[in-house]
Amino acid sequence: MGDLFDVATLDSATEVWGQQMSINGALQMLVKKFAPIQKQIIGAITGNHEDRLVRYSNFNPVQTLCDMLEVPYCNYSAVLRFRIGGHKNSRLNIVSPTVEYVFYAHHTTGGGATIGGKLNRIAKLNAIFAGADAYLGGHNHAKALGEETVYTLSKNGRGEARLTQKKVMYIDTGSFLVYENSYAEKQMLTPAHTGAVRIRMDGSRKDLHVSY
């Protein structure tokens, strides 16, 4: 979701001398941490912190990390399509239906200090990609959830149109930023509870849940 690397520069909010390790050190550490689960990694996107280095030298450490782990690099955003289920029950000789979930992931920008402001930025993603079940953002260093119900037009097996309700989720996916003595404390930002959200997709029926 972006901001895997701090990338402090002389003109960034993050102070250069406050970094705990170099970019190369962070790269080696991340490779070591993610290598055991590299086959489970769907992909990675760039955040504004890594983009600082792109502007200075056209070098993106997220892309290098993905190359080293041999996982997809998705640049600034990604559409994720999951198809779950479809299992055959040999005893009953039936196949359960496949359940599909579509996410749109973007690091996002801005957002303000309040939870509502952060989620508003994520909600704006539906103007870029319409129809997702969930929109994911990571820029605001928070774990938060907003959801709403919208109506969509669908067809049944006979081709008849009908209105159906659809739940849409807006998810701030988390942060691993240490607060004490960081730019967040200096700028009077709210401390973030570190960690990532868990998104559960039911494989037997369309049901999406988020927990912290």
**pLDDT at residue 73 above 80?**
yes
Higher pLDDT, 160 or 123: 123
Q: Report how far residue 196's alpha carbon sits from residue 167's, in angstroms, rounded to the nearest whole number.
A: 22
CA–centroid distance for 189 within its chain = 21
Which tokens hold the place of 68? 């080293």
Which tokens hold the place of 66? 């993905």
**pLDDT at residue 65 above 70?**
yes
Q: Report how far residue 47's alpha carbon sits from residue 64's, in angstroms, rounded to the nearest whole number.
A: 14
**pLDDT at residue 13 above 90?**
no
Q: Which of 19-23, 75-79, 161-165, 178-182 has the highest mean pLDDT?
A: 75-79
Q: Report how far residue 103's alpha carbon sits from residue 25's, in angstroms, rounded to the nearest whole number.
A: 32
Q: Report how far residue 171's alpha carbon sits from residue 212's, in angstroms, rounded to the nearest whole number.
A: 11
Provide mean pLDDT across the span 8-22: 76
What integer pLDDT is reported at residue 109 of this predicted model? 93
Provide mean pLDDT across the span 190-195: 82
**pLDDT at residue 173 above 90?**
yes
Pure H helices in the chain: 23-34, 48-57, 61-69, 115-123, 183-186
Q: Report how far residue 30's alpha carbon sits from residue 22's, in angstroms, rounded to the nearest whole number.
A: 12
**pLDDT at residue 12 above 80?**
no
**pLDDT at residue 66 above 70?**
yes
Q: Which residues contact 155 (CB under 8 A, 6 or more apart)?
A: 161, 162
> pLDDT band for position 93 (50/70/90)?
low
**Strands 198-201 and 208-211, sheet pairing:** antiparallel
- Report the SS3 class of residue 35: helix
Provide mean pLDDT across the span 147-168: 87
Q: Report how far residue 45's alpha carbon sits from residue 77's, in angstroms, rounded to the nearest whole number.
A: 6
Which residue type sits at 67? D
**Count of alpha carbons within 13 Å of 186, Cβ hemisphere only?**
9
